Structure 1
Amino acid sequence: MTVTEAPPETRPVPTRTRKRTRTQELQGVRGLAALSTVAFHVWQQYYVYDAAGGHPPVDNPHLAALLSLEVIDLFFVMSAYLLTLPYARAAIDGEGSVRTGRDFLFRRAIRILPVYVTAVLVVWASRNPTLPGDWRDLLEHLTFTHIFDRERIFYTLGPTWSLSLEISFYLVLIAVGPLAIRACHRLTTRRARITACAAGCAALYTLPLVWISLAHYVLGIPHTDWPVYFGPQARFGGFAAGMGLAVLLVAAEDRGRLGVRAATALTATAATGLYALSYIAHATGPEGFWRTYYHPLAALLWFALLYAILHNSVQPRWQGALRARWLTAVGLISYSLYIWHEPVMLFLYDTGLLPSEHSKSGFPLAVVIVTIMALLTATVSYWAVEYPGSLLARARDRRGRSRDFYGS
């Protein structure tokens, strides 16, 4: 959808320097997050359970806090930031244009579906060798509704419950984004437009907090009722934080950026906060306050960390490591890695190709083996399925219209 121009008296002068999205740095962050996810799920796989309860593979609470620092909220914040950025620029400054809802969903579909559908069909078929099998599990995964099934939410491809939330966010964005643009065009000052957008993001962030409080403290629903605490009504805070980050960075495009010291200090504070939150949340138990509100709080800390990376005038030296070729290469295949790492891990474990969980070196060696095999699988998946699927974007022009490749 092409954005309607603002009235001449309120139209911003196009002298503002467009902020770079720092693609390489975000790719590096995405790569680190994907590798962290692999290690976390190997950690979960190597838990030992007996009459006394569950025992982690390494009895070290500090290591447990580091490995259990769930990065799913980082993925949500990053995704929402990147996808909201055009809407924020159009709403606040009247610049550029946003895609139609149909074109937006088309491009998201060719980004997500080829690898996802391939993996679902392969994994489901391997676990259901005789028909009809668990047809409901297959149907729910193909329609992204397994997030609402308490029994099957982690079936087939366990980590893909998060994709159900991504789909929910896409639908919210294409519904709310154009409305926000129209509403902001009625406001005569840039400050008013920024305030309106920020207030909308804050409202979307607050709603999951209200839901979690109601579910946990009023209705007494336990944390094991997965759809209650994993559904969009509980986890949308990460997306709202990413939307808020897009608004903040557009608002600050013509303002002074963080210096090296400020960016380093903010990064260190956010990283320390994330580690402390993970440590305290696991120490106080699954029904404690910090665990109950872990994800909304983590989203704010990831918000701060990404702000430090994206809005600095001169990058601290350590941030240059995010542009390392090996790390950005992992970031490039991170979606395929996220999809395939769990079935790869379970295949290796079930066929006895991973060391025993009772061995002292079992867990670290398993991390190495699973990471290597998952990276190899993800590389093949990216070049054989994901990249070719992305080429379908060429079927539409910049305005979202179908290209006529055979016209006279």
Structure 2
Amino acid sequence: MSLAPTASPAASPEAVRPVPHRLAWLDMLRGVGALAVVGEHLVTWDMPWLRPTQFNLGTYGVLVFFLVSGYVIPVSLERGGDVRAFWIGRFFRLYPLYIAVLGLVLALSWWIPVREEVPRDLYAVAAHATMLLDVVGVGGVVDTMWTLSYEMAFYLMVAALFAAGVHRGRGLIAVLAGLAALTAGLTLASAPLTGGGPAWVSLAVFAAGMGCVLTGRLTVLASCVLGVTALALLPLSSRVPWFGLAMLAVMFAGTAIHRWERGSGSLWPVALTVLLVACAPVWAISAGWWWVQPDVWISTIVLAGVTFAAGMALRGRRVPSFLTRLGLISYSLYLVHLPILLVMVRILGERRWSPLPHQLATAAVFLLVLLPVSGLTYRWIERPMQDLGRRLARASRGPGPGGGVRPESESASG
């Protein structure tokens, strides 16, 4: 069954842009990751009998996403050679849809109450402003927003490494992050810092640091302070400290894979990182969630790694166009599907005990709503804002600290 019908905006040529053949495998992986996360939430509510027990479907999708981010983001920054342009592009890539979804959920809060995990305090606003939600121990208005915390922490660290002139050794960083995850699992039952302090501190540092970066003042120092702050917050205030460090290790493992592919690194750091990340919850004082039990956690990691390897194996071939199109709208799928699902839950109630035909019909209706809506949000929010971000990033390029410096022979795949 096609997940992107030709009548959908998600599949129409004016709604999505064709992807260069050499990049299609990355969008395919994004599409797979998005479908996995959507599937996790859909089957939990509607068809629990379909939910796998040997691995966690949602975490599998997130790990695939993180491997793609690690593979793409650092070399994209190095190819552009400009920290300020990088951040302009990231802001216009991430924030417009993020803000739109936040606004939608809050506007519906009179009907569908905001999650109890979101503090009814101003520091929740501070945490949402930086996207460092899980990193500072704050629940997101939309549950899936927790992953953006670790993406943002990764971006901050990558930008710091680039600004400081450290373009190599990402495999070693992946191993160190894996060791830190294992150590945190052995020593920290919970975050040492709780409450609103981490959220307010991160907002102050984030605002001041980004102000310096975007105005071209003290760019190297500001980038380094931002990166060090993100790194410090991971073990100190993440809701499950070892988990945040493990996610960082996974992303840097993706970077190490890219280095190996380009002949400037080896795969042993990746293998060692995977081993460390897999072992992190085994002896952890507090695992955090049921699906972090060793057998489920390890099988989830292995499946994500195999999926990424399969995608790399297909990088010289044509991949199904509906998967690449899903990859292009994957961010919309990721953020939009839960609000739609919450509305359906509110209207239809619990579905897990409904007759099978009703469950199948509910799933079909959900997908028939989700795909066109995600196509429209991509077309009217994501794509125009990305285009504007690119124009502003190009206009911002120029000589200066941390900007306009091109590394020696580095290129990116996307």
TM-score bracket, normalised by the shorter chain, equals 0.5 to 0.7
1:300-321 superposed Cα distances (whole Å, 9 cap, x missing partner): 6534542443257965xxxx4x
Q: Distance in 2 between matches of 1:359 and 1:138?
A: 38
Letter in 2 for 1:202: V
User: Is 1:400 equivalent to 2:397 in the alignment?
Assistant: yes
Distance of aligned partners of 1:62 and 1:181 in 2 relative to their CA distance in 1, 3 Å threshold: closer
User: Is 1:205 equivalent to 2:142 in the alignment?
Assistant: no
Q: Report the counterpart of residue 310 of structure 1 in structure 2.
A: 312
1:264-300 superposed Cα distances (whole Å, 9 cap, x missing partner): xxxxxxxxxxxxx9xx9xxxx9778962596687556
Q: Distance in 2 between matches of 1:301 and 1:125?
A: 38
Deviation of 1:395 after TM superposition, in Å, equals 2.3
User: Is 1:84 equivalent to 2:65 in the alignment?
Assistant: no
Paired residues of 1:99 and 1:399 also in contact (CA < 8 A): no
Match of 1:99 among 67, 70, 81: 81
1:104-149 superposed Cα distances (whole Å, 9 cap, x missing partner): 111111110110111111211221589xx94634443233243156
Deviation of 1:360 after TM superposition, in Å, equals 2.9
- Secondary structure of the residue aligned to 1:397 is helix
Match of 2:139 among 134, 153, 157: 153
Match of 2:254 among 231, 239, 242: 242
Paired residues of 1:355 and 1:365 also in contact (CA < 8 A): no
Q: Report the counterpart of residue 378 of structure 1 in structure 2.
A: 374
1:44-98 superposed Cα distances (whole Å, 9 cap, x missing partner): 334xxxxxxxxx821x7757747466311111110111012357xx7xxxxxx44
Paired residues of 1:180 and 1:197 also in contact (CA < 8 A): no
- Equivalent positions of 1:332-351 (< 5 A) are 332-351=328-347
Paired residues of 1:228 and 1:234 also in contact (CA < 8 A): no
Paired residues of 1:241 and 1:300 also in contact (CA < 8 A): no
- Equivalent positions of 1:14-29 (< 5 A) are 22-29=22-29
Q: Report the counterpart of residue 354 of structure 2 in structure 1.
A: 359
User: Is 1:172 equivalent to 2:157 in the alignment?
Assistant: yes
Paired residues of 2:93 and 2:382 also in contact (CA < 8 A): yes
Q: Distance in 2 between matches of 1:80 and 1:313?
A: 17
Match of 2:64 among 58, 71, 74: 74
Q: Report the counterpart of residue 33 of structure 1 in structure 2.
A: 33
Q: Distance in 2 between matches of 1:342 and 1:289?
A: 20
Between 356-365 and 100-109, the greater mean CA deviation after superposition:
356-365
Match of 1:57 among 48, 55, 58: 48
- Secondary structure of the residue aligned to 2:81 is coil
Paired residues of 1:31 and 1:332 also in contact (CA < 8 A): yes
Distance of aligned partners of 1:294 and 1:174 in 2 relative to their CA distance in 1, 3 Å threshold: farther
Distance of aligned partners of 1:298 and 1:103 in 2 relative to their CA distance in 1, 3 Å threshold: farther
Q: Distance in 2 between matches of 1:289 and 1:379?
A: 32
Letter in 2 for 1:237: A
- Secondary structure of the residue aligned to 2:326 is helix
Paired residues of 2:34 and 2:330 also in contact (CA < 8 A): yes
Paired residues of 1:73 and 1:295 also in contact (CA < 8 A): no
Indicate the structure whose relative CO is greater, using CA pairs within 8 Å and at least 6 residues apart.
2
Letter in 2 for 1:83: I
Any gaps of 5 or more consecutive residues in structure 1? Answer: 1-19, 47-55, 91-96, 185-195, 220-224, 256-276, 403-408
Letter in 2 for 1:227: R
Deviation of 1:157 after TM superposition, in Å, equals 1.0
Paired residues of 1:37 and 1:338 also in contact (CA < 8 A): yes
RMSD of equivalent CA atoms: 4.1
* TM-score normalised over the length of structure 1: 0.64
Distance of aligned partners of 1:355 and 1:158 in 2 relative to their CA distance in 1, 3 Å threshold: closer
Distance of aligned partners of 1:124 and 1:143 in 2 relative to their CA distance in 1, 3 Å threshold: farther
- Secondary structure of the residue aligned to 1:153 is coil
Between 159-168 and 172-181, the greater mean CA deviation after superposition:
172-181
1:166-212 superposed Cα distances (whole Å, 9 cap, x missing partner): 11100000112344646x6xxxxxxxxxxx44323322333222222
Letter in 2 for 1:357: R
Letter in 2 for 1:30: R
**Identity over aligned residues, as a percent?**
19
Q: Distance in 2 between matches of 1:287 and 1:390?
A: 36
Letter in 1 for 2:93: R
Deviation of 1:247 after TM superposition, in Å, equals 1.5
Letter in 2 for 1:309: G
- Secondary structure of the residue aligned to 1:356 is coil
Letter in 1 for 2:70: A
Deviation of 1:40 after TM superposition, in Å, equals 0.5
Q: Distance in 1 between matches of 2:322 and 2:170?
A: 37
Q: Distance in 1 between matches of 2:159 and 2:69?
A: 14
